[in-house]
Amino acid sequence: LMIEKGGFEHYMLKEINEQPEVVRACLRAYSDPPRFRNQLIFDSTTDSLTLTACGTSYHAAEVGKFIIEELTGIPVRLEIASEIRHRPTIIKTAKAIGLSQSGETADVLTSLKRMKEAGIETIALTNVFQSSISRIADDTIYIPAGPEVAVAATKTFVAQIIALIKLALAHQSVDRTMRDQINLELERIPHKIQQILDNRHLIKQATSLVAAADQVFFIAKGVNVPIALEGALKAKEIAYINAEGFCAGELKHGPFALLSPSSTVIAIIAGDENQASITASVREIQARKSKVVCITRENDSTFNDSTDNILRIPSTHRLLSPILNAVVVQLLAYYTAEARGCPIDFPRNLAKSVTVE
């Protein structure tokens, strides 16, 4: 069994460690823009798009929405599959993408089927060749992540994000300099993920603050908000921790009331236009005596290593920062689950793919 897990303790850790290679595989698969563009049917006639998914795939869709809207100006509608399946006719976009790692999640299959019946062109984004979703959709984009065994999705999340970024970049409206910058920086992502993996003992050290907390909050702004939600989902799924993710600016509208010395806040600080605002949030949280762990860039001088708990990671293009931050929150959840003695790969009450409503 250890051989199957590539020498790792769990499938999840193996799959987290495969991410540099998965990103390389994605970049190879999506390196042929004309073909990719045709396959995506995402051209000048597309004036809006709907994305639908569940769980971790939904968080990938959320990152995708942010990036597609910013790069192309095309409005993207985001729908939880278990909700939109009951009211598909409210969708007015011409095209919809259903994201499902397994390609078998009942809510996603049904919502895509119903949208198709309502006259919408449907595209599947999946990791499983010839899965049910690819039979329903008009067209399929595969993510080349390889089989994912652990119930909690990791490498497929990163692959879905890359696919959506490449989809956005294939659109003719994207500024050329911006496209070149992002493509160049994408090539560096595998190495930067590897750097995070090589320093994983530092993330492991930080988990003592998470494992012992009564409640954990993940906060972020902008394109990293979905990573805060994903970090909280991972903590719930595999470490059985009462965790929630928030937009940093929303803390003061409620969650602040929950802060106490027994809570821990993980702040994702991406070094973008939100730096001042999220720094202010961190200072307010510290003033309320909650523990804070900051995930920030190696060159960020805002935080002081002796007073703040800091995880420093490589800097990248701000739109690609969710990929690196995702790896950090995956490892945080993993080591927290390990410290709490949880089964990790196969958590109680959860299934890899939910094929019933």
Binding site residues, ligand G6P, CB under 6 A: 54-57, 100-102, 105, 108, 151-153, 350, 352-354
Residue 118 C-beta: closest distance to ligand G6P, Å: 21
Dmax (CA) for the chain in angstroms is: 59
Residue 122 C-beta: closest distance to ligand G6P, Å: 15
Q: What is the DSSP string of 20-72?
A: HHHHHHHHHHT--HHHHHHHHT-STT---EEEEE-HHHHHHHHHHHHHHHHHH
Residue 27 or 354 having the CB closest to ligand G6P: 354
Unique residue bearing structure tokens 């890359």: 162
Contacts (Cβ under 8 Å, ≥6 apart) of 109: 98, 100, 132, 133, 136
Residue 247 or 354 having the CB closest to ligand G6P: 354
Q: Which long-range contacts (CB under 8 A, 24 or more apart) does 298-301 make?
A: 299/271, 300/269, 300/271
* Angstrom distance (rounded) from CA 313 to CA 82: 35
Residue 19 or 105 having the CB closest to ligand G6P: 105
Token couple for 202: 């530092």
* Angstrom distance (rounded) from CA 59 to CA 154: 12
> Alpha helices, DSSP H only, in 176-264?
176-198, 200-211, 225-239
Token couple for 182: 């992002």
Residue 8 or 346 having the CB closest to ligand G6P: 346
Residue 312 or 352 having the CB closest to ligand G6P: 352
Residue 131 C-beta: closest distance to ligand G6P, Å: 9
322, 302, 325, 305: which is closest to 313 by C-alpha? Answer: 325
Amino acid at 238: I
Residue 148 C-beta: closest distance to ligand G6P, Å: 9
Residue 105 or 315 having the CB closest to ligand G6P: 105
Residue 318 C-beta: closest distance to ligand G6P, Å: 25
Residue 249 C-beta: closest distance to ligand G6P, Å: 26
